[in-house]
Chain A
């Protein structure tokens, strides 16, 4: 069988390929000679590894992901951050740039309850311990702007191939946008209402082909 990169909609338990020449990748499992999908999603094959990109589901954290979270609790040595995932994340003092003397500084003066931060997932232990870090050039605290949530499964589509889709949205609306892998989007300035419209449109039509072309076509038509 040839390496076809045709994306195909698969359902849980559906056979993707019946061959021992392929390996089950993400969201797939092998039983006997066949590889089956674990989730509702689209299947693709690369380097003889069969994987499925899910179409729905809650955010499952991955090391190195940039996420947007809300400070939900302050503890003696760090902050608890709600990142819209199965478990809350923890931002320890060691994850913050610079030295903070806990005896002299109130931690809420650094990040207060309800603050939104853009942080990197630095460490994952045992599935429920998610550690964040602000030691990344992209990480920051949001002091203004707006936040919307979309389904985390649709984030790759919103970003597009090498950021093509998000670049298009930024160009056309003039908003400054930060996208968290957990489906939280922060944006400010430009045509904010238009940005929300586009986010929702991309979320709804994430599984269709040629979406970037469709949206850029939409703008071209408007110009006429």
Chain B
């Protein structure tokens, strides 16, 4: 059985990926990542002093990720400002990136990561993580590894990766996963939908494989900025 996907892509193929490093000149580090029609821009500020002061930790830095979907990013205008959904995703992204950073190298400071989704067509949190990870390394922050992320699902019994809007609705489930390839560590794993344990583990395997490919692209994007 063959599944017809938009742009004739294979089930284990991502949408066309564009990655660019250093897109926000006033930030310490920034990146734009595009997966098909989902685009995220991440900008990193800091490490800088923590305000309010009581929030600071003497032994490590705080990581503060803010995810927001811009009003024009969706078909129907979405309300600007923080929402229940964006607050949750911000938290999830923070947890996905924190294990990759040497937070203990920057005591009493905060690393701010602002991620704006300027175009949304499913997979915004994974695109956001990809962009944020690139922006963090561009900002010269001490990291253990790059973090790559992708979502997978099951459509008509076929395991597919990097779902787009329509596919997400057709899929039985949606499993976003973030991954650090060097140590083979999973830093984010979410799941919604209804599926069997076998399907779940197959999708996770497929996601991990794809994350490794995405990480290679991230490395290329970083090298491209500095190698002339």
Task: Give residues in A with beta carbon < 8 Å to B.
Answer: 9, 11-14, 27, 29, 31, 36, 38-41, 54-58, 86-88, 126-128, 153, 205, 207-208
Contact = CB atoms under 8 A, between A and B. Distances in A.
B140 A11 contact: no
Contacts of A36: 144, 182
A87 B49 contact: yes
A13 B144 contact: yes
A148 to B, nearest CB: 15
25 contacts: A9-B227, A11-B137, A11-B222, A12-B137, A13-B145, A13-B146, A29-B102, A29-B144, A38-B102, A38-B143, A40-B226, A55-B226, A56-B139, A57-B139, A57-B141, A58-B28, A58-B140, A86-B49, A126-B58, A127-B106, A128-B107, A128-B108, A153-B140, A207-B228, A208-B228
B29 interface: yes
A11 B219 contact: yes
A207 B146 CA distance: 22
Contact of A56 (B48, B106, B140, B180): B140
Contact of B48 (A31, A54, A58): A58
Contacts of A9: 223, 226-227
A27 B183 CA distance: 19
Contacts of A87: 49, 108-109
B138 interface: yes
Task: Please give me the 10 A-B residue pairs with the lowest Cβ-Cβ distance, nearest first.
Answer: A57-B140, A13-B145, A12-B143, A56-B140, A38-B142, A128-B108, A54-B140, A127-B107, A86-B109, A12-B137
B176 interface: no
Contacts of A29: 102, 144
In which size bucket is the chain B interface? 20 to 34
Which of B107, B140, B141 has its CB near the most chain A CB atoms (within 10 A)?
Answer: B140
Interface string B213-226: 00000010011001
B46 interface: yes
A56 B138 contact: yes
Contacts, number: 87
B143 A27 contact: no
Contacts of B48: 58, 86
A11 B46 contact: no
A41 B139 CA distance: 11
SS class, residues of chain A in contact with chain B: loop
Given A40-B138, A56-B138, A128-B107, A12 B49 contact: no
Nearest to A13: B145
Interface string B88-113: 00000000000010100111110000
A13 B143 CA distance: 7
B11 interface: no
Contacts of A127: 106-108
A40 B109 contact: no
A86 B106 CA distance: 9
Nearest to B142: A38
B153 interface: no
Given A12-B144, A87-B108, A128-B107, A40 B222 contact: yes
A127 B223 CA distance: 31
B47 interface: yes
